[in-house]
Structure 1
Amino acid sequence: MLRVPASSKVHPDLLTNTVYVPALLQSMMSSENKKHRLRSDKCKGDLVIDGSASVKWGLGWRERLLCTRCKYVGKHYKLYNEVQSSTRGRKAAQINVGSQIGVASTSIGNTGFLRILNTTYIIAPSPLLCKKQANKVNTAMKSLNERSMCDIKKNLVLKMPK
């Protein structure tokens, strides 16, 4: 197991557990390694995640890489998938929507969910973000349930003997 020396200067957020989509992380690493080599081919520094510039979006993260020797700083990459939407503004992360669907279908609730995340050393989303996401998910689930019940009623009426 790799351990970070206590004396090294690592941003504290980089010592927690974080959820990334591996394919997106791989794409970021590959792309930024190429750009770094093109910019300074003689640099022997390592590209590392810039913990001070990490951007949290619920359970999703946007990250960028920087070089430990030269002044190379990459662009930010979304390391989560987004939910497609026809509305304007920032799109929801699939992991945030999925977690709220899971919370809505169990008895633990948001408080219990956030407690579980914190005890697993995952930086939890803010309670306000969870509440907003829960409101959207619960509205969609209610609508889906109402449509489903309407279909069931129609099928029952059609199957009834006359």
Structure 2
Amino acid sequence: MNRPGPVRAGGVLFCLALLAPVPAAGAQPRQRLPENPQNAAQAQKPVLLSIALADGAVTADIADCPLHDVLVELAARTGVIFEVRSEPNPLVSVHLRAVPLPEAVGRIVPEGNIVFIHDEADPGRIALVRILPRDGAAVQPGLLYFGTGRVTASGRSTGAPAP
């Protein structure tokens, strides 16, 4: 009987392995995965963000909009600077009709501790709003500041999906 020995069979397997197709490095485009699954889910939902300010009262229609986007829009219309943690960024849904700014912020962020800091030159004007988490979470995410301290938008926002 003529059987191949162990060395000969191993050599055949080695040669077959060399002939197997190997994908070229970089030939396949890399798929980008979302960094945060919650943010990916937020981006897929239809968003309503419409805010107007008249005589110091806020009127707003907000549905399924990330909190940070709401604060950016509110900062542009009020001239208030908002200080908030980078995480979490929950979805906000609220409808306001001619509500004073402090109450509007409290209804937009019902789960936070809110500190209003007034302008020294004009004590009736809110200059900075700090939004802190209610739970004493040990994790310390970064701080974000929204707003310039000046009104940068006027009229009613378009209501288009937020970026």
Q: TM-score range by the shorter chain?
A: under 0.3
Highest RCO, 1 vs 2 (Cα 8 Å, sep ≥ 6): 2
Pick the structure with more strand per residue: 2
Pick the structure with more helix per residue: 1
Larger radius of gyration: 2
